[in-house]
Every structure is written in C-alpha cells, then in structure tokens.
Structure 1
Amino acid sequence: MKPLADLVRPTNLEDVVGQQHILGQGKLLSKIIKSSHVTNMIFYGPPGTGKTTVANIIAKTTDKKLYKLNATDASLKDIKNIINDLGTLLTNKGVLLYLDEIQNFNKKQQQSLLKYIENGDITLISSTTENPYFTIFHAILSRSTIFEFKKLTNVDVYKGLIRAIEIVENKVLNKNIDYDDDAIKYIANISNGDLRRALNDLEIAIYSNIRNEAFKLDINIAKECTQSTGFSFDKFSDSYYDTLSAFQKSIRGSDVDAAIHYLARLVQAGDLKSICRRLLVIASEDIGLAYPNAITIVNSLVEASLKLGFPEARIPLAQAVILLASSPKSNSAIKAIDKALSDIKTSNFGDIPNHLKDAHYKGASKLNRGTEYLYPHNYANNYVKQQYLPDEIVNKKYYEAGNNSTEKKFKDFLSKLKS
C-alpha cells in the first residue's frame, strides 16, 4: 500500500491546502498553471508545504515529456540521459524536468542544464528547502521565476488531515473512522506546518489501531503517535540565520517573551556556542552604554552556561536574555566605531599629532615627538584642553550620547569638565 501522504496527494489545485498567496484566485502561479504555458520555475519553502504536489499538477497540464530527478541521489549521468533523449520522438514536444532538492546539485551539475533551459528544449521546475539565492547558480535563477511556499497554518494542516481521513474511509477501509476533533487538531498543531509529517503521524495512528473494533482516534492516541514537534534546525540553512536574527531583534525591541521563544528554538537545536556569542554581541551593540554593566553580567552568565552545558545551560541563558530584553537600549557605541571605521576606509584622516606620538626612545625629542604633550593628571580635575584628533579631522564627531540616563550623566560630566 502507498504511504498515506502519496495516497491522498491532490491532483488538482482545488484540493491543495494553503499557499493562497500564489495559488489563490488570480494569483500568478495559479494563472500560469491554468494557461498551460509552463515556464522555468523554482519552488522554495519548508518541507511538507506542497511543492512536489503543485509540480505534479503542473506536469499534467503540459504535453511535454516529464522526467523526475531528486538531486540528493541523481548524478550528471542522469542529466546526460535526459539530454540524449532530446530531439527524439519521445521528446518531440519538449521536456519538463522536475528536479527536487536542487540545492544538492553542485555548480557543474546545474550548469549542465543551462544550455537546454536557455533554448527551451528543457523546461525546469525545481524545488528547494534552502534559500535559492544562496544555493542555486545565478544563471538558472535569472531564467526562472521563484515562488516561495510558506509554512502551513494549523488550519491548513487540519483541512489536509480531514481530507485524508475521508479518502481513507471511502477508498481504503470502506468504513467510517471514529475520531475526536481535538485529536486531529493536536496532530495538526504539533506538525509545525508540515502536512507530510502530519499525514505520517495520522497514518501511524490509524493503521496501528484500526483492527480494534472499538478504536477511536482520541487525544491519547494522537499524543502517542506524535512524540515531538516537527522542529528542524540546520546550521547552514535559512532557519539558522533567521532564528538568530529574530532572537537579536526581539531583544533589541524589548520583547521579552519573543526573545525567550527564539532562545528556546536555539536551545532545542543545541546551538550553545551561537547563543553565547550572540548574547555578548547584543550586550554591547544594543544595550551598550545605556547599561554598561550588562556586558559584565552577561559574560558571567555565558561562562556559566558554557561550563554547565545543556540542559542546565538554558537557565543562565534565559537569565541573560531576560536581562538584556528588559534593559534600556543604546547603539551609540557601534554607531561611533562604525563611523570612525568608515573614515579610515574612505577619507584622508591625517597624521597623529606630534605631541601624542611615542616619545619613549632616544632621539624622540629631536623629532619633536611628545615634547608639547600636556599630562592631564597634572591639572585640575585631571583635565586639560589639547588637540587629540589629526588636523584633517580635528572637528570630527563620532560619538553621540544616547537618550538614556547613564549616557546623559556622561554627557553632562564631559560638558562641565570641558567648560
């Protein structure tokens, strides 16, 4: 018997759940499919969101010869075999190649298709779970339309599960399946937007219990067949960078709950090193001088986390996240150093004034090194006015105090000192 996910795979657009932003009435992909004029396309999105299903539906609308390859196990030889069929009676109306997981093809393998895509002998529909702008050869990107498939909502997955139950009832078992709606909603919720995973869980729930005449798919069976959510985390994928980005932006935005949520994703993935590094960056980049002691406290919590390791490390990590998200914010430090670095890279910033240069060697005075330097500690309040910046940028301002109590105190102090 076919796996349930294949058995219930939709054969028309009306049965595809989700993706209304591209498949809804009047949307681009929907119009392309209905026109039967198929062009090169790249389907990009998480697993179980309908990429293969839609590709199969498209294949039905064309009279081109269909080939399917999965780049995970396909080789250059497989591509050459398809190319060798070009121009024969078998392919006189052209070839439609569906290439799944194209990110697993290297540049040479992708380039081998380019000539035939360009002249129209092969129409390519490829799918990938990774950002195509990072993984697909630019020449193929420029000749393709990219459609992003989004993670399904719980409602979308629920609809797909109900449809699957009806198909199993009518075409496989020829009897009704007794189930609690809460059990189906639970399976949908824990699938994390992956319909294929939800269907696999449903298949286990049904076929492992169906011989029991009193069987009812209740919440207990649903929990037994779904041990954990479909959370996935690949350190080299979009999700890695997206999660770290959302983590820092939530702390920067002072949303404690969101910050803890993204921390939980990173903890679940076991990525201790990245969490610690990012927390130390945030302490200086986003909190900075608004709460100067934050970096000291966070550093201690990071050290504790690294010594403890998971699972205990989650506790000091959570402490650090809550502290940073709840702290006043200032980016004055990073703005100051980046502004200075920009000058170093792009302008004539001049020579260091002679009175600031090193004078700890014989003959320094003959070169006028340090001879006019004024030692601040010899003056009232340990301050004396003198030039520190080079002549070319003598009036340059890099640091602007942030709007927080700590930096206002610093600003007032310097203002009084220099007056």
Structure 2
Amino acid sequence: MKSGKTGLIIAAAFIGPGTVTTASMAGASLGYGLVWALCFSIFATYVLQEMASRLGLITGQGLSEAIVNISQNTFIKWFSIALVCAAIGVGNAAYEGGNLTGAALGLANVLPGSITLWALTLGSIALILLLSNRYQLVEKVLIGLVALMSVVFITIMLIAGIDTAALSKGLSQFGFSNTSLLLAIIGTTIVPYNLFLHAGLSAKQSREMPLSKAEISTELPAHKRQLFSSIGLGGIVTFAIMSCAANAFYLTGNVLSPGNIASQLEPILGDYANLFFALGLFSAGLTSAITAPLAAGYAICGLFSWQPTLQAKEFKLVCVSILVCGVLVATSGFKPLGIIILAQASNALLLPISVLFLLYVMNQKKIMQEHTNTLLANLFAGVILIVIIGLGGNKLISLLF
C-alpha cells in the first residue's frame, strides 16, 4: 500500500457522518464562528498523523507495539496497556455508535423504517463484511460515493459563495460559546483511533516492502507532501459543509433539524437533495463503521502481540466487540444528532491519552533512531496537547459543577 493511499484512507476515515453532521450543526448554529477550530484541527491532524505514519514506516511497528516496548517495567507496561484499552475501547465504541447512527439517519429520511431498524441492518452488513474478508472492494465503492458527496458540497459552496466578512470574523474571534460543539469539531477531525490505524497501515507497508536508509530519506519528504494534500482535502470538504450550512440556516434564520439537514444541498440537487444526502451519510457511515473496528483491532492486537490480520481470531473478536458496542449505542433511543455530537466530543476528551503515548514514543531513540521528533515537531505537538487538555478540562469542570 503506497503512502499516498494511506493518507487518503485517513482523510476518508474522518469525513464520516460525524463530520457531516457536526460541521452542519456548527455552520447552522454559529455560522463561521468555529472555522478557527477547524483550522486548528486540520493542522493538528497533519502533525499527529505524520508522526504516526513515520513511526510505522521507520520501525515496522504499530503504535501499540511501540507503547508495549517502551519499558521493561511490568507495572508501567500493564498500566499503559490498560490506558490504551480504555481510550480505544471507549472512544471507538462511541465513534462506532455515531457512524451507525449517521448512516441510519440518512436512510430513515428517505426509506421506510426507524433509525433503530436501520442501525441494526447496517451493523449486520458491516459484520458480514468484516467476517467475510471481502470488505475491500465494497469499501472502495463507498469511499467513491463519499468523494462524490464531497464534490457536491464544494460545488455548492462555490455557487452559494462565502460571506467573507463573517469568515474573517470567525477566523479572528475565537468563539467558545458552545464547548460541546467545539470539542465535537476537534474530535471529528483529530480522531484518536486514526493514529493507531495510520501507524498500523504504515507498519504493514514497511514490513511488506522494507526500505533502505537511502530510500527512507527519499520516501519521508514525499510521504509528508502526500499526507498534507490528503488531510488538506479533508479540511476543505469539512469547511464546505460548514459553509453550506451557514448559508442555508445561520444566515437565513432557519433552524437545523434531522428532517431538514439535507436542504443545504437544494441549490444544485433540488428535489433530489434528500436522497443524495441520505446516500452520502449511508456511504460515509458504513465506510467508517468498517474502519473503526479495524483500527481497534490494530491497537488491541498490537498490545498483546496477537496477529494484526483480519484472518486472526483475536483480531476478529476485537472488531466484532467494537461493532456490537456501536450497535448498542446507536439503538439506545437517544436523539440521533445528540449521539453523533457526543461521539465526537468523547473523542476529543480521550485524545490526550493517545497523543501523550505517541509523543513519548516519537522521542525514544532506541525506537526511532535518527528519526525522532525535531524540536519544532515537539513544540507543535505540545501546543496541540495543551489546547485539547484545556478545552476538555473546561468541559468536564462545567459538567461537574
């Protein structure tokens, strides 16, 4: 698997139903007020995913394997394993619930049946694909559909135009009026499980096609450029969704709801807007519903030295467990948009654990050798970590008191 393809997979992984819904709600309720948060999130995603992919390419190890090998101290090792299991288990279960809920919400808007019924149906489809080992072709088709939806959002944004005055205000005035939505924007873009997924995919590439030192020196700069393009594309699509919602709802005074969220596509698609939006949510949701369990499989199997392949029983068990938890969340009876926002916010709250481990590993010479983090990379990662912890801590304090 080429490094450019892994970057596109990561970009496609975070443009799921959570991104569509969260960006729509942000644009509908705050206009361009959270564009600054999106810019920060895209920058942070690039910085962190570059570290994760570099780890896999250089060492041939996933992030989990590297975490386990940090220390020979038994207590530290098992404490690290427990933290990663908690972060990935809780985070991916919540994220999987958001994926299935988003896809089910799209289908329920245009077809007979409740969100609960469609969540169960989609969960069953994802389960069959994961257990059959034939999900790759379907995933490519679904990613293609998500790409098509992205083109439509960008086209609508260009046709509707951007309120440059409101955009400038959104970039210059940091809005904190809705912390849950702010955390959701961060959590739907800087996805913790993507760090494990990216490191795992890059490690697989490294093991299948080992690179010499000279080849690594050539590969890393090219890899960074490809990753920058992929993550940047994801950011443009997210901004386009936010801009469409701002024009359709915030600037007109209309209130966004599950029943009218697709109306932002009407300038181009007219009566077909609802159908197309449903297809997009279904595609994004099912793609992410497959990707999230796979990422958990890489993470958990790496911790216990199990085979990180879909053919291994342990890997399948982890995937199925995350999928079942996601179905339970999606069929819990809570409001669908609330579940999706909660899933993204929980990601942001759990993200510091993953970032701390990644940052520590990337500064270990015995693991990374001459490819440890530079001072600038550590500075960027440190600022990202402080911002995320500060926002998450503020939200927890407000909930408790």
When the two structures are superposed, what TM-score results if normalisation uses the length of structure 2? 0.22
Return the index of the structure with the highest Cα Rg.
1
Q: Greater helix share, 1 or 2?
A: 2
Greater relative contact order (CA < 8 Å, ≥ 6 in sequence): 2
When the two structures are superposed, what TM-score results if normalisation uses the length of structure 1? 0.21
